[in-house]
Structure 1
Amino acid sequence: MGFRAVKRKNPKHVHEYTDRHGKARYYLRRPGLPKVALSGLPWSPEFMTAYESAMAGEVRRPPIGASRTLPGTVNAAIVSYYQSGAFGSLAASTRQSRRAILERFREKCGPLQLKAMPTAALQRIMDGFSPLAARNWKKALRGFVDHCIANQFLQRDPLAGVKLAKTKKSSGFHTWTVDEVAQYRAHHASGTKARLAMELLLQTGHARVDVVRMGRQHTKSGKLSMRRQKTGVQFDIPLLPELVSELDLQPKSDQLAFLTNAKGEPFTPAGFGNWFRSRCDQAGLPQCSAHGLRKAAAVYHALHGATAPELMAWFGWKTIGEAQRYIEEANRIKLAESAGAKLISRTAVGSPADPVSQNQTQAIEKAKAR
């Protein structure tokens, strides 16, 4: 008769369960405290080190992806980049979008040695995307590669030789017209949440990520004061009469935010974008969006004589180029209207009866001179 192996009891507060892959998992679970995952097998040196640290309250959350990193790999370098000040200083929305790209990059190249990353491989990756997507990938990888070079993980820049296909010029989101604003207002009456949302976007001219944060805590003495989430630039703008009238019609609430969802909570930027998209569809404006109102506001300010520095102060822009773009758009509109007015008033080139008669006369005179 042989001896039967007896399983040793797990250390105190250690709970075991089997995951869907049939693998045993171990956690430290103490009353009133979050559970802590423990590596290794119970009573092994690796396990006991983790267990003792957890019992002493020394457990720290491991870096994202640390469980799959090996020194010198793309995985390890990306984890290092996530922990860097350069990545942390990016706006939250920018970090989110770039992390999404870098995580997809890890799926393709994570286990590979970083120093062996050739330009040709990056070029093949870029060639697999649309021109716009490829530009976004190159932006995300640029920050990562710069971090690697600064920390001497790389001795050369593998992105330097990557070429991108030219993108077709686009004006981006559709800019709302005066008639479209009037159509939206006719469908969504004053006092409704849909109307308030449109007036907030149009009268402040700010992005949805900032509009969903706007609330009573940001208003004082007839001004709205806050910082743009994306750039951190402060803006202090007067509350325009149309917006004040709409805010006065809203029911009183304990919620600070001006706009709330069906649960009475502030919208997320993405949630608000989808909700407002539906309000535009209801008004018969499928081509219109929240960002298009920001563009409309900028053009409207420029049409009424706002200078580039004034636009920068109102919209929280860092560079004058952003403001200049809308001034040029406003000037184009003004010049076209001026040209049309001259034709209507018959002060354009040519005689009042025939706008091109002057050119015809000149041609006849030249023919006679010959």
Structure 2
Amino acid sequence: MPKHPDYPHVSSFTDRHGKTRWRFRKAGHKDTVIPGEPHSAEFDAAYEAIVGGRPAKTNVILLAGGVRPRSIKHAYKLLKESGAWLKLDFSTRDRYGRLIETLLTRKAGSEIIGDGPLAEVKRTHVKQWLQFHKDTPTMQKIMLICISKLIMIGIENEWITADPTYKMMKDYRHDTDGHATWTPEQCDQFEQFYPLGSTPRVAFALGVWLGLRASDIARLRWDHLTTKRMIINGEERTVEGFEILPFKGRKKKKGQTVFLPITPELAHELAPLSRDTDFVLLSSWKRGYSPRTLSGRMIQWVRAAGLPAGRLAGDLALSCHGLRKALGMRMAETGASTREMMDVLGHNSPSQAELYSRKARQVHLAINAMDKVAAGEAKRRKAPGLKIVK
């Protein structure tokens, strides 16, 4: 353990990761690991605090933007520069970022949460932070994901060695079917409220007849329209549809496009629209929507039509994504295969498509079973009474 010539009672040691660290060792004093490297501002401030008998002031020199080194804000700064963060799609980064930034600006007592050292984050702190979203379990789960990402930055940079969020996800798992599926009656109510060719009606039609996510509805352009000629069941057919590269999963699929045929119902909805514009769905300013704005507008349109919408409506709230699920249920109820549903909705695994199939099959089987019970009971009631012959 070589002693440092410029710092009395300071010697080096090698930690379990093979990294050289420094600590203060003196009889009558508690062994103290000193952060940073000798002659750095952080190291000097900590050493002076130790020999002066005062608590160490380890975050004296601030980083750009007034960020304290090794603080939770510092971890967020590094997270945004990481490859894992940059691989997330824009909407996910935006959602996570807004949640994290809100947390970092909150106060815990008299201190700003984001200014606190990441190394001092305990499991009790994480639970307290999750209570900010106690009325929305789904948001608690997302917040826990965000906190875990910050903790991993601390672990990767050797600020901490233990993860205070370890195995917490199971305690905050919110069992739900996700976005509510629009029923046929709700679809009818929406269509009756908004006139043909109106912006809400077009957004609705693109969601329910193409099964598009909000990110793809917002980006759908008229130059995506194309025509395919194919032999189907021995008959040559010419089919018009949209050929797009789905925004979600575009990196994993490496540019794989999907062709979505236009149904007669969708053709009827698109008939009043001008095709001289860039985007199929236009705002009142004759421009396209951003996915986030479109999702918010759909909540307003749904609520205006007298249907449940928004966070206050709970699990019954209707959204753009619920239209996509409505198409999945319609395909399942009409006997579409799992592979067919996957190709229309762009699912990578059959699990979600099979969920639609199981629900539709359960209804069909239940109806068939009760029909048999009813038929059997009718026969029993019509049958002549049995006579006992001696």
Q: What's the TM-score, normalizing by structure 1? A: 0.69
Q: CA RMSD in A?
A: 2.9
Match of 1:155 in 2: 161
The reply to whether residue 334 of structure 1 matches residue 367 of structure 2 is no
1:314-325 correspondence to structure 2 within 5 Å: 314-325=344-355
Match of 2:80 in 1: 82
Match of 1:352 among 379, 387, 390: 379
1:277-304 CA distances to partner (integer Å, 9 max, x unpaired)?
4443454434643222111111111122
CA contact (8 A) 2:328 2:341 kept: yes
Match of 2:118 in 1: 114
Name the CA distance, whole Å, in 2 between partners of 1:188 and 1:261.
Answer: 15
Q: Runs of 5+ in structure 1 lacking a partner? A: 1-64, 362-370
1:325-357 CA distances to partner (integer Å, 9 max, x unpaired)?
21222222222332343345x14xx563459x9
Match of 2:297 in 1: 275
1:121-142 CA distances to partner (integer Å, 9 max, x unpaired)?
2233234532333211111122
Shift in alpha-carbon separation, 1:161–1:246, aligned structure 2, 3 A: closer
Letter matched to residue 192 of structure 1: S
Match of 2:284 among 238, 255, 262: 262
Match of 1:105 in 2: 103
Q: Runs of 5+ in structure 2 lacking a partner? A: 1-62, 106-111, 228-239, 310-317
Shift in alpha-carbon separation, 1:146–1:227, aligned structure 2, 3 A: farther
Match of 1:248 among 257, 264, 271: 271
Q: CA deviation at 1:178?
A: 2.0
The reply to whether residue 213 of structure 1 matches residue 231 of structure 2 is no
Name the CA distance, whole Å, in 2 between partners of 1:175 and 1:163.
Answer: 26
1:37-74 CA distances to partner (integer Å, 9 max, x unpaired)?
xxxxxxxxxxxxxxxxxxxxxxxxxxxx9312232222
The reply to whether residue 312 of structure 1 matches residue 342 of structure 2 is yes
Match of 1:184 in 2: 190
Match of 1:26 in 2: none
Q: CA deviation at 1:204?
A: 0.7
1:296-307 correspondence to structure 2 within 5 Å: 296-307=326-337
Shift in alpha-carbon separation, 1:85–1:176, aligned structure 2, 3 A: same
The reply to whether residue 175 of structure 1 matches residue 181 of structure 2 is yes
CA contact (8 A) 1:173 1:292 kept: yes
Letter matched to residue 350 of structure 2: I
CA contact (8 A) 1:66 1:79 kept: no
Shift in alpha-carbon separation, 1:313–1:241, aligned structure 2, 3 A: same
CA contact (8 A) 2:141 2:173 kept: no
Match of 2:258 in 1: 235
Q: What's the TM-score, normalizing by structure 2? A: 0.66
Shift in alpha-carbon separation, 1:121–1:185, aligned structure 2, 3 A: closer
Q: CA deviation at 1:322?
A: 2.0
- Consecutive aligned runs of 4 or more in structure 1 exceeding 6 Å deviation: none
Match of 2:11 in 1: none
CA contact (8 A) 1:135 1:164 kept: no
3-state SS, counterpart of residue 250 of structure 1: coil
CA contact (8 A) 2:118 2:154 kept: no
CA contact (8 A) 1:192 1:250 kept: no
1:62-101 CA distances to partner (integer Å, 9 max, x unpaired)?
xxx9312232222222111101110011011110111112
How many residue pairs match? The answer is: 289
Q: CA deviation at 1:114?
A: 2.2
CA contact (8 A) 1:68 1:75 kept: no
Q: CA deviation at 1:197?
A: 2.1
Match of 1:223 in 2: 241
Q: CA deviation at 1:314?
A: 1.5
Name the CA distance, whole Å, in 1 between partners of 2:243 and 2:154.
Answer: 39
Match of 1:96 in 2: 94
Shift in alpha-carbon separation, 1:283–1:99, aligned structure 2, 3 A: closer
CA contact (8 A) 1:191 1:250 kept: yes
3-state SS, counterpart of residue 367 of structure 2: helix
CA contact (8 A) 1:93 1:230 kept: no
Match of 2:324 in 1: 294
3-state SS, counterpart of residue 318 of structure 1: coil
Letter matched to residue 202 of structure 1: V
1:7-86 correspondence to structure 2 within 5 Å: 66-86=64-84
Name the CA distance, whole Å, in 2 between partners of 1:239 and 1:164.
Answer: 42
Stretch deviating more after TM superposition (263-272 or 148-157): 148-157
3-state SS, counterpart of residue 334 of structure 1: helix
Q: CA deviation at 1:257?
A: 0.7
Match of 2:54 in 1: none
Name the CA distance, whole Å, in 2 between partners of 1:114 and 1:92.
Answer: 26
Q: CA deviation at 1:109?
A: 2.8
Shift in alpha-carbon separation, 1:274–1:84, aligned structure 2, 3 A: closer
3-state SS, counterpart of residue 294 of structure 2: helix
